[in-house]
Amino acid sequence: MAHARFVEIGRVAYVNFGPEKGKLCVIVDVVDNKRALVDGPSTGVARQQMPFSRISLTEIVLPVKRNQKSSNVAKIFDSHEVVKKWNASTAGKHIEHSLRRANLTDFERFKLMVAQKKKSLALKKELKKVAVKH
Amino acid sequence: MVKWYPTEDVQKVRVKRANKPARLRGGVSPGQILILLAGKHQGKRVAFLKQLESGLLLVTGPYKLNGVPLKRVPQAYTVPTSTKIDISGSDFSKVTDAYFAKEKENTKKTEEAFFAPKKEKKPFSDAKKAMQKSVDAGIVNKVADPVVKKYLKTKFRLRNGMFPHTLKF
């Protein structure tokens, strides 16, 4: 429980599903146990209610007040460089990588396969050296 | 009103329109690498040379790399990839639909000929071998990157988690 991410005012969330998929937004109010009011003026998310099932909570929490004006949310969002922090985080990088993998062309996929084969061969070689002989 | 019918059935004359040559789909241009989807060379990656008058695509392996000769392929049986190689150095202008026509054999349809033991297959003509060599020479020499050569040698294969509708070629 100590390291859990809570739904709170100011929690930055990543939208996983729906028309706002792939964008970051800030939880500005909680409607009920299933929905939040989110806003992402800097990232193109209009102020709207969003079911919790559509979003993933990130590590970032901003000092946003409940129902704060969109323009002020934008100021806080930009001053904390949220997008930069997100892109540098493991989760952000993971999403960037999976997007990149989805957009690989056939030739790139081939080069990836060749590189993975090379890597696994080198790995096996090293493991063999260290392996306990039966 | 009851419809009027002529006394004798009249055949409706249908005007036969000339078939337009098939459009080159997927933004395919000469030198593009295609993946063959059917036939003996399924999965092989080949170089697209030009579209023939019949609408079929003229492709070549090159033969040395993957064993695909100068071949005609319908567009529907290919998947174009985004990779292109330089084919400006090869001359394939003489290769047309007539190049692929089967040689007519003068066999009389007699009873003896029907039951006679089948003749051996004719060996691949030397002229065609020479044409293949000359067309391929201009292509293979220009492929500088050994990775591209390996790419052309390897067959396309679907693996676990690869879904054709999500793949980008």
At residue A97, the 3 state secondary structure works out as helix
Greatest mean pLDDT range, A4-13, B22-31, B100-109, B132-141: A4-13
Which of B147, B148, B168 lies closest to A104 in CB terms?
Answer: B168
Residues in chain A, total: 134
| pLDDT per position as a tens digit, A29-85 | 999 999 999 999 999 999 999 999 999 999 999 999 999 999 999 999 999 999 999
A-chain residues near B166 (CB < 8 A): 102
- pLDDT tens digits for range B86-124: 888 888 888 888 888 887 766 666 777 667 777 677 777
Task: Yes or no: say if B44 and B61 are a contact pair by the CB < 8 Å rule.
Answer: yes
Average pLDDT across chain B, whole number? 85
Per-residue pLDDT at B41: 93
Mind telling me how many Å the CA of A85 is from chain B's nearest CA?
30
pLDDT value at position B3? 87
Among A97-101, B30-34, B134-138, name the one with the lowest average pLDDT.
B134-138
* Inter-chain residue contact B150 with A114, CB threshold 8 Å: yes
CA distance B33 to chain A (A): 10
- A104 touching chain B per CB within 8 A: yes
Q: For B151, which of A103, A104, A110 is closest by C-beta distance?
A: A110
Of B45, B166, B169, the CB nearest to A105: B169
Write down the pLDDT at residue B113: 65
Identify the band that residue B158 occupies on the pLDDT scale cut at 50, 70 and 90.
very high
- Hey, how many other C-beta atoms are within 10 angstroms of the C-beta on A121? 10
CB neighbourhood size of A124 (10 A):
11
Interface contact A110-B154, CB threshold 8 A = yes
What pLDDT shows up at residue A44?
94
- Per-residue pLDDT at B11: 81
User: Which residue is associated with the tokens 């033991």?
Assistant: B117
Task: Over range B117-132, report the average pLDDT.
Answer: 79
CATH level 3 topology of A11-81 = SH3 type barrels. (2.30.30)
Q: For chain A, what is the total number of helices (H) and then of strands (E)?
A: 4, 5
Contact residues of B toward A, CB < 8 A: 33, 35, 45, 81-83, 147-148, 150-151, 154, 156, 166-169
- Helix (H) or strand (E) holding A127, with range, is helix A106-130
Are B58 and B95 contacting, i.e. CB atoms less than 8 angstroms apart?
A: yes
Q: Determine how β-strand A35-40 pairs with β-strand B45-51.
A: unpaired
Residue B100, pLDDT score:
87
The secondary structure of chain B in percent helix, strand, coil, rounded to multiples of 5, reads 25, 15, 60
Question: What domains are there in chain B, each with its CATH number?
Answer: 32-96+103-157 (2.30.30)
Mean pLDDT confidence for B24-52? 91
Which residues lie closer than 8 Å to B62 by C-beta, 6 or more apart? B47, B68, B135, B136, B139, B140, B152
Instruction: Give percent of chain B with pLDDT exceeding 90.
Output: 35
> CB of A105 within 8 Å of any CB in chain B?
yes
Average pLDDT of the segment spanning B132-145? 84
Count interface pairs A-B at CB distance under 8 A: 32
Give CA–CA dist B27/B78, Å, rounded: 13
Q: Give Cβ neighbours of residue B165 (< 8 Å, ≥ 6 apart).
A: none
How much is the pLDDT for B108? 64
Domain ranges of chain A: 11-81
Considering only alpha carbons, which residue of chain A is nearest residue B147?
A111
Count of positions (residues) in chain B: 169
Does residue A106 belong to the interface with chain B, where contact is any CB pair within 8 Å? yes
Q: CA dihedral in degrees (B150, B155, B156, B157; nearest 10)?
A: -120
Mean pLDDT of the region B28-50: 93
**What's the gap in Å between the CA of A100 and the closest CA on chain B?**
11
Residue B152 in contact with residue B66, Cβ under 8 Å? Answer: yes
Q: For residue B17, is pLDDT > 90?
A: no
Q: Locate tokens 């039951």: which residue?
A: B115
- Return the higher-pLDDT residue of B109 and B163: B163
pLDDT tens-digit map of A81-115: 999 999 999 999 999 999 999 999 999 999 999 99
List the single residue in A103, A106, A114 with the smallest CB-CB distance to B81.
A106
Name the residue facing A106 among B83, B147, B166 (closest C-beta). B83
